[in-house]
Structure 1
Amino acid sequence: EQILQNQEFFNDVNCVVITDVINPATGYPGLTTSLRGITQLEVTVDASPIATLDPQTALYKLLATLIKEDHSLAIDLIADADILITEEERIGFSHVPTSINLLRNSAGLLPETILTVPTEITSILEAQLRKSSVNARPGHRIAGSIIFGRAGARIRFNPCSNPEALQLKLLEFFKKNNPFNLKITVRRFAEDSKFTSFDLILASSTKDPHSGVNGGPFPVAELQLARMIDRLIKSDGSLPPEIQKVCGATFDKSIIETCSLFVDEDETVQLFEDSSAKAIVEIRLAPGNQEKKAENALKKYLKENLPKDYKIKMKSDRGASPWITPITHPIFSVALEALEMGYGRKACIYGCGGSIPFVAKLTDAIPGTQPLCLGPYDPDSRMHEPGESLSLVDLLGCTRSILHLMARINKVFQR
């Protein structure tokens, strides 16, 4: 809008340099040619008077539908819009100077956590950069665009005569429904004297990685938690036979309710002060999608998959369209040359799984302008995460590259 209001000032702009992306490895420059977009909703679920399950359990069952068995996005209207990578791009990804361990470490994955894609660089980068992926966070926990490395829920049962046996059966059940080998803790909450209560805690990562940079190839603990609860508690409130047998048949319904937990780094937990069933649902949109269409598709999907006898409220939280560009314009070869001079090593064509709304809006507002996305960050910088830092190698390399670009820009744009 500001550009359109000052169109005369921007009329002779040929290219714009944007420095809000990361390089593939410390000291290895990348020229970013694609960005994922984002659509994010605040979702609240309420129960009608005749509902069988409590609202939080219904919300978990709804969240469980967002992913398929392999953790890929289950909303076909969005997933099918992703532009498939070409064979040339696939080969290019295989030459990106990174490693499986570096990519895992950038997300802080636990050694035992299994990827949601084949364990190869090309598949991981494709999932991070060119496929839409979904993330969910407890709605009462204030956070930026991150994937929580830990998730938890308190499950309250009617009194059970043998809580130790029930705890063991629950752990056995959850382990059978843990395809990505997340760390599982089932802990008795003995302070709840009215009920037999357990805290289910999942951990996939030692930190809370950025959902744009890392989202896609790594399992989301909150969504895996939702799937476990969905399989534990049927729509009519019943339990799997092996669990029900331990609970006994004293009550019509063994499960009283589930509650979302705030899980800290040391796995201490607490209930949220607000007990309403609320979640933030975030989808990183791969190139090929459009923000508003994707938002409408997400809203439609949530309404259609909401368990009966429940109401849903959805509030748009943020959104941005993805962006992708060919590298046919001569400025890109000059930019690659400048990056090589600035860093002292050859640059690669790269992408970013995060979102920079300004880029897509810029290309719409100033047709013909070439956005050049250069990275002063490295994967260890924790860009836009708690504890963000900068690598001097990359900061200085990016600065030198911009100077070399400015010195050579007249090769492309003649005055």
Structure 2
Amino acid sequence: MEQQIKKAIKAKMPTYIQQLSKLVSIPSISFDNFDQKYVLESAEAVKQMFAEAGLTNIQFLTPESGRHTVYAESLTSPDKPTILLYAHHDVQPPMREALWNTKPFEATVSADGERLFGRGTADDKAGIIMHLAALEQVRALKKNDGPNLKFIIEGEEESGSAGFAGILKKHAELLKADAVIIADLGNFAKGTPSITTTLRGMSAVSVELKATKAPLHSGSWSGPIPDVGQVLCRMIAELTDGTGKILIPGFEDGLVSPTAEDLASYRSLGMTEEIFRNDGGVLDGVKLKCSEDEILTTLWRKPSLVVTAMEVGSRMNAGNVLQDSAYARIGIRLAPGMDADRCTQLLVDFLKQHVPYGIQCNIVTEDGANPFVTDTSHPFFKKMSDAMTAAYESETKIIGCGASIPGAELFRSTLGNIPVLMTGLEDPECNAHGENESLYLPDFEKGIVAETLFFGGLC
């Protein structure tokens, strides 16, 4: 059966790449300052693909934002297991388009044929096609003797999944399943099949300081009047020490340390500083803030703060001006055991306590996502691990992820304590969220094989 599946999928790869390319051509950026008609167009394209694949009960599950989540199902028998398949059809902005080597919304195969470039190729439109392709293959193999499959393709994951909790709660009966596969993560390395079992949580705050009614001549006014740019920099610097440890009192309360088994698994991955620096494009001479043997625990099991945006005047129009205001967005990554709402409030309180000179300070919080840890004892995990090992012809690794998937905890809290299997097609070279995002096509094929083998082994 395994060789039959591999041969059938290889023959269909041109079709699957074409389907993915069609989705990539739609700039479905789910941020308010972009045209949302493309998110709706993307949802319609997914809906059409579902119809062409013969799925039933196809419908939009629409949050308040209007960014459609697309639902569909392919049911066989109530006696068969039901698997809920998640991916998302919205994408990040292209960032600096001048740095792209190809057009961001025109899927382009590399000269060596190994990578498909374009925004959303790896994150996460490939996940949609992987689910659809595996459905096609398992139905061809087992007809109606395979599992029940339900699809839920979100339309606002990249902008924070603000309406996703409401969708899950409202449609909990419709979405009822024995397990969920979240195809929005990735492999530890190319050709290394991986199941993610921990995620960091996420939140963010926007801080704006204001000291004067308008910008002033720096020669005439600076000195007596505080410079909001310097003040903001000092406030941010007080949040952490030189190693990146967060200095907010009580911030790390509840932090869950990795187990001995976790640490053994991390060591087995063979991460070195050289590999990490190469994958991250770290410049020569820039030192890491942790030792080589702490890289993965720092990335997956410790919190971090990142200044994701800062604005004091304009680089393109810099002059001798004492600026009236300064802005920064501070992102929070929270490790397992920490609470997003609590930590966000601690950050807000700490910043407000450290505003000097009576400067006006306005802080806006964003909805957060809690960290996530899944239990791997359910038999479905071994079935998925075995399927991935067979597909990739390489041992499946259990890994963590420093990023956040809000849906993971939402699925568990809404649909019951069902297994949450987190897979995906990203790799360290895919540059998700950055310029020149790409999908490693050999792993795209193997990912489809793995999911097909998993479905085939359930019944």
Shorter-chain TM-score bucket reads 0.5 to 0.7
Matched, 1:329 2:378: yes
Counterpart secondary structure, 1:373: strand
Mapped contact 2:228–2:324 kept (Cα < 8 A): no
Per the alignment, residue 377 of structure 1 pairs with 426
TM-score by length of 1: 0.64
Change (3 A) 1:27 1:271: farther
Counterpart secondary structure, 2:368: strand
Tell me the amino acid that sits aligned with residue 275 of structure 2: L
Per the alignment, residue 69 of structure 1 pairs with 242
Give the counterpart of 1:352 among 376, 397, 401. Answer: 401
CA distance in 2, matches of 1:384, 1:18: 18
Per the alignment, residue 349 of structure 2 pairs with 300
Matched, 1:110 2:283: yes
Q: Deviations over 1:25-60 (max 9, x none)?
A: 111011100111111011001237997521111101
> Relative contact order (alpha carbons < 8 A, sep ≥ 6): 1 or 2 greater?
1
Give the counterpart of 2:445 among 374, 396, 404. Answer: 396
CA distance in 2, matches of 1:360, 1:51: 50
Change (3 A) 1:349 1:51: farther
Give, in angstroms, the shift of residue 65 of structure 1.
Answer: 0.6
Mapped contact 1:377–1:395 kept (Cα < 8 A): no
Change (3 A) 1:289 1:51: farther
Aligned length: 283
Per the alignment, residue 28 of structure 1 pairs with 192
Give, in angstroms, the shift of residue 324 of structure 1.
Answer: 0.6
Per the alignment, residue 297 of structure 2 pairs with 126
CA distance in 2, matches of 1:108, 1:76: 33
Tell me the amino acid that sits aligned with residue 299 of structure 2: Q
Query: Within 5 A, what are the aligned runs for 1:44-193?
Result: 44-47=208-211, 52-120=225-293, 123-140=294-311
Counterpart secondary structure, 2:439: coil
Give the counterpart of 1:320 among 369, 389, 397. Answer: 369
Give, in angstroms, the shift of residue 348 of structure 1.
Answer: 1.0
CA distance in 2, matches of 1:308, 1:409: 65
Counterpart secondary structure, 2:174: helix
Give, in angstroms, the shift of residue 95 of structure 1.
Answer: 0.5
Mapped contact 1:137–1:279 kept (Cα < 8 A): yes
Give, in angstroms, the shift of residue 319 of structure 1.
Answer: 1.8
CA distance in 1, matches of 2:430, 2:318: 32
Q: Which runs of 5 or more residues in structure 2 are unaligned? A: 1-165, 214-222
Give, in angstroms, the shift of residue 75 of structure 1.
Answer: 2.3
CA distance in 1, matches of 2:370, 2:249: 18
TM-score by length of 2: 0.58
Give, in angstroms, the shift of residue 10 of structure 1.
Answer: 2.2
Tell me the amino acid that sits aligned with residue 297 of structure 2: E
Give, in angstroms, the shift of residue 291 of structure 1.
Answer: 1.6
Tell me the amino acid that sits aligned with residue 332 of structure 2: I
Change (3 A) 1:400 1:60: same
Query: Within 5 A, what are the aligned runs for 1:228-377?
Result: 259=312, 262=315, 271=318, 276-377=325-426
Give, in angstroms, the shift of residue 374 of structure 1.
Answer: 0.7
Mapped contact 1:37–1:291 kept (Cα < 8 A): yes
CA distance in 2, matches of 1:275, 1:337: 60
Change (3 A) 1:2 1:296: same
Change (3 A) 1:38 1:345: same
CA distance in 2, matches of 1:76, 1:392: 46
Mapped contact 1:31–1:348 kept (Cα < 8 A): yes
Mapped contact 1:66–1:74 kept (Cα < 8 A): yes
Change (3 A) 1:369 1:271: farther
Q: Which runs of 5 or more residues in structure 1 are unaligned? A: 141-258, 263-268, 411-415
CA distance in 1, matches of 2:317, 2:381: 51
Mapped contact 1:27–1:378 kept (Cα < 8 A): no
Tell me the amino acid that sits aligned with residue 32 of structure 1: T
Give, in angstroms, the shift of residue 106 of structure 1.
Answer: 2.1
Give, in angstroms, the shift of residue 307 of structure 1.
Answer: 2.2
Mapped contact 2:168–2:410 kept (Cα < 8 A): no
Identity of aligned residues (%): 25
Give, in angstroms, the shift of residue 105 of structure 1.
Answer: 1.9
Change (3 A) 1:370 1:271: farther
Give, in angstroms, the shift of residue 138 of structure 1.
Answer: 3.2
Give, in angstroms, the shift of residue 136 of structure 1.
Answer: 0.5
Change (3 A) 1:390 1:271: farther
CA distance in 2, matches of 1:8, 1:137: 39
Give the counterpart of 1:10 among 175, 195, 200. Answer: 175
